[in-house]
Each structure stands twice: as C-alpha cells, then as structure tokens.
C-alpha cells in the first residue's frame, strides 16, 4: 500500500481549518523585518537555544553517568525522536517543521536521573502540594513560564511558543495500539491537563511525535543495555524470538520495521496506526525492557542514591523560606551552601514579585507571601538540574 503524502490535505499549514489556533501565541512575538522563518522554525530555534534543551545532554536516559560515550543521554533520545518523526511526517505529507519543533521540546520537562528522578520529585510534590509531578506538564510549564530568551532590545522574555508546539509537548505521553491515534478537534486550555495522556494531541504532527517517542527508546535502550552488559545470551535469544531480528543489530532494525509499518498502515480515516503484529511486537519489547533493563537489580543502588540527593536538596531549599524575609534568610544560609543558594537565588528572583525587574519582561509566577508558590519554585528548580549539578549540590551540602 503506497501511502506517500496521504495526509497532505491535513498538514499544519494555512489551508488547514485549525491554522489560526495552531499558530496562536499568548502574545505577539517580536520579530525583525524580513524574517524568513516559519512560525515552527522560530519555535524550533527558540527551543534550541534554551538552557532546558542544552541541559538534556547531561541528564540520564536510562543508564546513570555512563563512562562509555556511546551510551544515550536524554538529548540523544530527543534527537532520535526528531529523526523518526521527520521520516514519518515527511513520507505522509505532514509538516516536518512542526514535528521537529515538538520533538526538540518534548522532553525539556524531565528532571535529573531519568524516570526515577521524576518519580522522586512527584512524591515530593504530592506530599508538599497535594499534586503529582509529571514531565509532560512540567515541560509545558518550562516553555510557558521558566525559559527566557533575550529580545532584540536585550530584555528577558518568555518563549511564547505556538499553541501547536505547546500542545505537542504536553500531549506526547501515551501508548499507541491497534485502535490508532487521531487528533482531537477542540482547542482546549492546555493548563487544564490533570494527568498524562488525558487528551489526544491537537495536530496530526503531534500524534506522529507521540508515536516516535515510543519507537525511539525501545530499541535504543536495548542497544545501550547490550553495551553495558545487562543482557545475557539467553535474554538476547528471547529478544530475537520476539522481533525476528538478530538482537545485536536490534535498534536500527526495530526502528525501521516500526516506522515502515506505520507509514504503510496509517491514513486519515484510520489514524496513525500500527498493524496488529507490530503492536504485539512493540508491547513484547516493552515488557522485555521492563523485565530485564528498567527493573534490573543493578539499578537499585543508584535509585536509592537519587532519593537521597533530591530530597536533601529539597529540604535545604525549603528551610530558606521565611515569607518576605526569605531573601535575607537565603543570604544568612549562603555561608553554608554558597553554590546552591547563590544559584537558586539568581534563578528565583527572575520570577517572584519582589525586587527590581530591570530588563525582565517575563511573567511573575511566584508570590513570596505564599509558601506553596515557593515550594513549587523549588520543584521547578530541581527539575531543571542536570545529574552532575544535582550531585555537586548534594556534595556541597554534606561536606564541611
């Protein structure tokens, strides 16, 4: 079945009836006369230059602090998602500029130490604020409220991304099965998300990224596990039985198999769809990974360490809160933890409602009079840390 360009009439372009909502921004984005970039190219460039994106190269994907340069970090995963989503969207006739922008930003909400770090931060958030932390929602908060760029006058501004890219970031979680994946019709307030995968994405392009996200990590995590000697010959034989693919070349072969399957089986009528056999294979690979990689006993020591590191940093920062006197209390405690508290103070002063705001044109999102705002700020701050920075801050705390 030749499905090439079968979605061309549904692409995110000016002929799409959703176009005005797709390119909507919270406010008009500053620009120079003669800017040749499309709205999604501008979003991609804005994301590419953020601290959150650049820190991904020092955040765990699966394996913590690998000495082997060939083991994936979070930024490698993002690049794989971008490549896979480009191949699918380009073949089907969708807007690859939009998929590239969504893919670039889809994981900026991840904290240090991979999914274990996310779970630890979520436990803190539920305990302190009564709500979970999840990286898709955090990613929307990061691009909407936290990341800042200089405008042409040197003022700090929020990213102010298009609705379609923001939607793709918060909507990228979830699974795809034989029932397929289709975009929703309504343009909801994205801040109304209360849990992962609560709504379908708004565009076909975001649906592609959602599928590419899953395809990208299954095979690559296996490849990394092989490199780190996590898998025995018996395990690899089991994997070959699942995929029908020689396990030593599983990543590229798995990706090619699943991408081709999606391109052959998707249509506007049935949605972005894998064949029944491909879904079964994907589910078995995921189960294999959870059994032999993510749930391996060798992961336990580092996971326990992550709990200590994140909780200790949180506790120190929480102890600095003292209402309007907080800046003074931070100053008093800086002699004990200079790097942690100086860095935190220089970060939070961009977002709270005290102090001077020269050249700060971004949103004020924290009220110093509300302790819950301060705790939320700490959670955002910790989620932005790289693995190494978090460990350095912990080492500062425990050393005398």
For 339-390, the pLDDT digits (tens) are 999 999 999 999 999 998 999 999 999 999 999 999 999 999 999 999 999 9
What is the reported pLDDT for 192?
Answer: 94
150: which strand partners? 156
By CB atoms closer than 10 A (0-12, 13-18, 19+), residue 199 is: middle
Categorize the per-residue pLDDT at 65 as very low, low, confident or very high, splitting at 50, 70 and 90: confident
Please check whether the domain covering 8-108+147-295 is classified as CATH 3.20.20.70: no
pLDDT tens digits, 243-299: 887 766 567 888 999 999 999 999 999 999 999 999 999 899 999 999 999 999 999
Cα distance between residue 259 and residue 180, in whole Å: 14
Cα distance between residue 225 and residue 235, in whole Å: 11
What is the reported pLDDT for 251?
Answer: 76
pLDDT tens digits, 149-173: 999 899 999 999 999 999 999 999 8
| Domain spans of the chain, in order of start | 8-108+147-295, 299-398
Quote the Cα angle for 264-218-1, to 5°: 5
CA nearest to 25, candidates 149, 163, 171: 163
**Contacts of the segment 180-187: beta carbons below 8 A, 24+ positions apart:** 180/266, 180/270, 180/271, 180/272, 180/273, 181/207, 181/210, 181/211, 181/271, 181/272, 181/273, 182/207, 182/271, 182/272, 183/207, 187/18, 187/21, 187/163
By CB atoms closer than 10 A (0-12, 13-18, 19+), residue 371 is: middle
**Contact by Cβ (8 Å): 184, 202:** yes
Residues 113, 119, 125, 128: is their CA dihedral positive or negative? negative
**Contact by Cβ (8 Å): 340, 396:** yes
Q: What value does the mean pLDDT of the chain take? A: 93
- Which backbone phi and psi does 352 adopt, to 5 degrees? -105, 170
**Contact by Cβ (8 Å): 74, 192:** no
Instruction: End-to-end CA distance of the chain: give it in Å, rounded.
Output: 68
**Contact by Cβ (8 Å): 218, 209:** no
**Contact by Cβ (8 Å): 166, 368:** no
Residue 101 to residues 34, 42, 107, 140, 237: CA-CA distances in angstroms? 21, 9, 12, 14, 38
């Amino acid at each position: 079945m030749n499905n090439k360009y079968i979605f061309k009439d549904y692409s995110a372009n000016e002929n799409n009836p959703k176009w005005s909502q797709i390119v909507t921004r919270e406010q008009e984005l500053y620009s120079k006369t003669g800017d040749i970039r499309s709205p999604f190219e501008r979003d991609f460039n804005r994301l590419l230059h953020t601290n959150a994106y650049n820190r991904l190269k020092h955040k765990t994907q699966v394996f913590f602090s690998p000495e082997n340069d060939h083991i994936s970090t979070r930024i490698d995963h993002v690049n794989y998602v971008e490549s896979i989503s480009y191949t699918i969207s380009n073949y089907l006739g969708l807007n690859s500029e939009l998929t590239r922008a969504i893919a670039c930003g889809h994981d900026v909400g991840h904290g240090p130490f991979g999914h274990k770090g996310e779970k630890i931060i979520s436990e803190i958030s539920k305990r302190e604020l009564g709500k979970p932390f999840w990286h898709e929602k955090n990613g929307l908060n990061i691009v909407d409220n936290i990341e800042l760029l200089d405008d042409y006058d040197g003022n700090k501004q929020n990213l102010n991304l298009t609705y379609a890219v923001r939607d793709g970031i918060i909507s990228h979680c979830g699974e795809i099965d034989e029932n397929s994946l289709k975009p929703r019709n309504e343009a909801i307030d994205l801040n109304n998300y209360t849990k992962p995968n609560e709504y379908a994405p708004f565009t076909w392009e975001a649906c592609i990224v959602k599928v590419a996200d899953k395809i990208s990590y299954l095979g690559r995590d296996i490849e990394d596990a092989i490199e780190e000697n996590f898998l025995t010959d018996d395990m690899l034989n089991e994997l070959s039985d699942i995929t029908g693919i020689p396990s030593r070349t599983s990543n590229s072969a798995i990706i090619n198999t699943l991408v081709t399957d999606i391109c052959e089986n998707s249509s506007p009528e049935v949605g972005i769809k894998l064949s029944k056999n491909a879904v079964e294979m994907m589910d078995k690979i995921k189960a294999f990974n959870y059994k032999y990689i993510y749930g391996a006993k060798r992961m336990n020591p580092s996971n326990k360490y992550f709990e200590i590191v994140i909780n200790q940093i949180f506790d120190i920062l929480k102890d600095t809160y003292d209402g309007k006197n907080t800046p003074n209390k931070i100053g008093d405690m800086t002699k004990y933890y200079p790097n942690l508290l100086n860095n935190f103070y220089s970060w939070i002063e961009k977002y709270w409602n005290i102090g001077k705001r020269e050249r700060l044109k971004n949103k004020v999102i924290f009220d110093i009079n509300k302790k819950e705002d301060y705790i939320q700020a700490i959670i955002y701050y910790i989620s932005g840390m790289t693995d190494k920075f978090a460990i350095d801050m912990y080492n500062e705390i425990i050393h005398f």
